[in-house]
Amino acid sequence: MSMRDPLYEEERTVLTGGPEADVSKHVAVIMDGSGRWAKERGMPRFAGHKEGVATVVKVVKAAVDRSVEVLTLYTFSTENWKRPKAEIEFILKLPKEFLGVHLPELMANNVRIEVIGDMGKLPVATRKAIQYAMDRTRHNNGLQLNFALNYGSRQEMLVAMKAVFEDLNQQKLSLDDLDEQQFSKYLYTADTTEPDLLIRTGGEKRLSNFLLWQLAYTEFWFSDVLWPDFTEQNFLDALEAYGQRKRRYGGV
């Protein structure tokens, strides 16, 4: 049957209910393409990461405006330590810079800051800035803004499994009680709903060790737009595309 067939379009409408049928409550974003953005312009990679911060501001605002409940940004992965030292140092200064400038605005918009990942290896100044922002926003009940910092999903699951084994050995947990829901409580995202929508910019179509457990039934939306060029409208387009989909979770 042709994709343009009116009967098909009618069926599609019934299945999805249109773009407003389901609003994504949790959006996860792999912010990719900042280095390539700078290279295309003959600039150092640092410039791309710097420009990417402005995009974070735009996307956070769009998420607040659309009443998204949780926004998780893949900020620095466990694999990113393989990059040149100067680039790593620059990237890890950006959270402090971002929060130093925009924390008052985040407070005004009732945004709560959280982090997923192993903060222990981050520079002291970065940890202090993030902890300060988390403390300042702790009682806010609007958008939960998660920064995935020094985050890797395989590492996360290994840490969780070790904690499970420890609790089993100490008889704090029964093997019969261990199921998917119980295991999820051992992950960094224990107090967060699983993502409804994953957005990846920059043209790549892979997960890059990001939320592998949590993305089991998440809808994916890929964009060729490099992260520094990603706009509020691009974000809204992703939300609209999500609203057109029917999530069956393995059912009919």
Give the CA distances from residue 121 to residues 30, 42, 81, 213, in Å, rounded to whole numbers and listed in that order: 21, 32, 10, 23
Out of 5, 22, 32, 109, pick the active-site residue. 32
Is residue 100 a part of any domain in this protein? yes
Q: What stretch of H or E contains 148?
A: strand 144-151
Is residue 139 a part of any domain in this protein? yes
Please give the share of the chain, as a percent, with pLDDT higher than 70.
89
pLDDT value at 112 more than 50: yes
Tell me the C-alpha distance between 43 and 14, whole Å: 49
Looking at residue 21, what is its pLDDT? 43
Looking at residue 245, what is its pLDDT? 86
The tens digit of pLDDT for each residue in 157-205 reads: 999 999 999 999 999 999 999 999 999 999 999 999 999 999 999 999 9
Is residue 17 a part of any domain in this protein? no
Give the residue ranges of the annotated binding site: 32, 37, 45, 49, 77-79, 81, 83, 200, 206-208, 219
pLDDT value at 251 more than 70: no
Tell me the C-alpha distance between 167 and 154, whole Å: 20
32 is catalytic: yes
Give the angle 233-239-245 at the CA atoms, nearest 5°.
140
The tens digit of pLDDT for each residue in 28-81 reads: 999 999 999 999 999 999 999 999 999 999 999 999 999 999 999 999 999 999
Give yes or no for a contact between 43 and 2, defined as CB atoms under 8 angstroms apart. Answer: no
Q: How many structural domains does the chain have?
A: 1
Is residue 41 a part of any domain in this protein? yes
* CATH code assigned at 71: 3.40.1180.10
Give the residue ranges of the annotated binding site for Mg(2+): 32, 219
Sign of the C-alpha dihedral computed for residues 92, 94, 100 and 104 taken in this order: negative
Is residue 12 a part of any domain in this protein? no
Q: What is the DSSP string of 77-100?
A: EGGGGGS-HHHHHHHHHHHHHHHH
Is residue 144 a part of any domain in this protein? yes
Is residue 107 a part of any domain in this protein? yes
Which residue range(s) make up the domain with 67? Answer: 22-152+196-243
Looking at residue 214, what is its pLDDT? 98
Mean pLDDT for all residues in the chain = 90
Looking at residue 252, what is its pLDDT? 60
Looking at residue 4, what is its pLDDT? 39
pTM for the full predicted model? 0.89
Q: 14 falls in which pLDDT band (50, 70, 90)?
A: very low
Is residue 158 a part of any domain in this protein? no
150 is catalytic: no
Least confident range from 8-17, 128-137, 149-158, 236-245: namely 8-17
